[in-house]
Amino acid sequence: MLQLGPNLIQFQAAKELSEHCPAAKEIQQELVNINQQTGIKWVFANGFWDQTKNKCSVIYHHSSEPVNEEYQLTVFAKQTENGWQVSHQLKQPN
């Protein structure tokens, strides 16, 4: 885990995410859903927790091609007054 600024943390391992990101459970559930929908197993690459914006962003790579950046999944979690709003962006080759 790296402290990039007073309110910005970079996670370098999935364990750090689960220990320090308040939305880790919601992000993990989104990942499970995406794994089922795509049939692709996504593995943790890195993540960020911005305390100022109450936002966590996590980047995952395709498990069988972890260095191929054409396959990338980013999961976002932002805290709202109604709880965590989770979304994702999926990048795959055409």
Q: How far is CA 79 from CA 6, 15, 65, in A?
A: 19, 21, 32
Phi/psi-derived region of residue 54, left when phi > 0, alpha when psi is between -120 and 50, beta in every other case: left
Which pLDDT does position 83 carry in this prediction?
A: 94
- The total of structural domains in the chain comes to 1
What is the reported pTM?
0.89
Which pLDDT does position 65 carry in this prediction?
A: 80
Residues of the chain with pLDDT under 50: none
Structural domain including 70 reads: 2-91
Comparing CA positions, the residue from 83, 21, 90 lying closest to residue 50 is 21
Which pLDDT does position 69 carry in this prediction?
A: 78
Which pLDDT does position 67 carry in this prediction?
A: 76
Burial 45-65 (b: 16+ CB within 10 A, else e): bbbbbeeeeebbbbbbbbeee
Cβ neighbours for 29, distance < 8 A, ≥ 6 positions apart: 86
Any idea what DSSP says for residue 12?
A: -
